[in-house]
Amino acid sequence: MLRVVVVDDERLARQRLKASLAKIDDVKLVAEASSGVEALEAIEKFDPAVVLLDIEMPEGDGFEVVTRVLQQSNLPEIIFITAFNSYAVKAYEHGASDYLLKPFTEARLRDALSRVGERIRLRTVDERVVRLQQTLRHLQSNNSGFNSNQDIWFRRGAEEVRVFRNEIQHVSADRDYVEVTTTEKVLHLRLTVTAIERKLGKEDFIRIHRSHIVRKAAIRALRRKRQSKAEVELVDGKTLPVGASYLDDVSSFIADRQIHH
């Protein structure tokens, strides 16, 4: 029986994982966590054989979690989870640490757990430590370089779609999907606004609402309404609401660029 801990900051993603795990024989979910801090606590408390670990999270990302896990005596197998494709992740498709690229099928999850279970039976702890250290270094190296690039690859169904950062105008939640509006097209992707926000960064983009991210240069006007309500008008003519908890950030961004008499 594989004891599994699920780590993902998105509640919906954790729910989907739990539902899939419930259908797989010889697998027992012992804990779930929504941050790096919670993940480390769960790993120490429940001593899982496998950790399904989201690479990017608040309060300690997946890389930091792995670094801390390597210091423990009982080393679990790590299956990385990511919403973004990268060559580093592909390079480890057959490595000691597997990966799951969102959105993944139950068959893919079942296969990953099967392979990890076989590795647990065949490999010594020392071998697993060495391979996990190699995986961590490779992923960290790729992650830093990837963030500096000007394009992002998204999984859309059975295809990989390339989008240039400088073409993205705004991102909006649409039920279980997000709508990514570029200068050329609109993409509907099975991701979350938060996941995309991490890849876009804060230099050129700003979160204006729990459901909306916009390119700073795409903001044409900020309109304040009653009761702390506001909206922004974009250069394409679209208007989007500004959440009360995000209004100060939007106002500060505009104030920093405002010309005073």
Quick check: is 24 in a domain? yes
User: Residues near 156 by Cβ (< 8 Å), separated by ≥ 6?
Assistant: 187, 188, 189
What CATH number should be reported for the domain holding residue 16?
3.40.50.2300
Beta-strand runs (E) in 83-125: 98-101
Residue 102 CA from chain centroid, whole number? 9
pLDDT at residue 134 in the model:
62
State whether 37 and 118 are in the same domain. Answer: yes
Omega prior to 58 cis, within 30 of 0: no
Residue 184 CA from chain centroid, whole number? 25
Per-residue pLDDT of the chain (261 residues; tens, 9 = 90+): 899 999 988 888 899 899 999 999 999 999 999 888 888 888 889 989 999 988 776 555 666 777 776 666 567 888 888 766 553 444 344 333 677 877 788 999 999 899 888 877 766 555 666 666 666 665 555 554 444 346 788 877 778 888 888 889 999 998 778 999 998 889 888 888 888 888 888 888 999 999 999 999 899 999 998 777 899 999 888 999 999 999 999 999 988 877 665
Q: End of a domain among 98, 119, 148? A: 148
User: Across the beta sheet with 186-189, what order do the strands follow?
Assistant: 186-189, 177-182, 168-174, 212-215, 205-209
User: Residues near 52 by Cβ (< 8 Å), separated by ≥ 6?
Assistant: 4, 5, 6, 7, 8, 17, 79, 81, 100
What CATH number should be reported for the domain holding residue 243?
2.40.50.1020
State whether 21 and 142 are in the same domain. Answer: yes
pLDDT at residue 91 in the model:
34
82 vs 11: CA distance, rounded Å: 15
pLDDT at residue 236 in the model:
85
State whether 84 and 110 are in the same domain. Answer: yes
| Domain enclosing residue 159, as ranges | 152-255
- Structural domain count of the chain: 2
144 vs 135: CA distance, rounded Å: 14
State whether 160 and 144 are in the same domain. Answer: no
Q: End of a domain among 148, 174, 193? A: 148
Tokens of 108: 């893919």
Quick check: is 260 in a domain? no
Q: Are 63 and 75 in contact (CB under 8 A)?
A: no
User: Residues near 5 by Cβ (< 8 Å), separated by ≥ 6?
Assistant: 29, 30, 31, 32, 33, 39, 42, 43, 46, 48, 50, 51, 52, 76
State whether 18 and 103 are in the same domain. Answer: yes
State whether 213 and 228 are in the same domain. Answer: yes
196 vs 31: CA distance, rounded Å: 26
Q: End of a domain among 106, 128, 148? A: 148
DSSP string for 175-233: TTEEEEEESS-EEEESS-HHHHHHHH-SSSEEEEETTEEEEGGGEEEEEE-STT-EEEE
State whether 42 and 95 are in the same domain. Answer: yes
Tokens of 182: 């570029």
State whether 134 and 203 are in the same domain. Answer: no
State whether 129 and 15 are in the same domain. Answer: yes
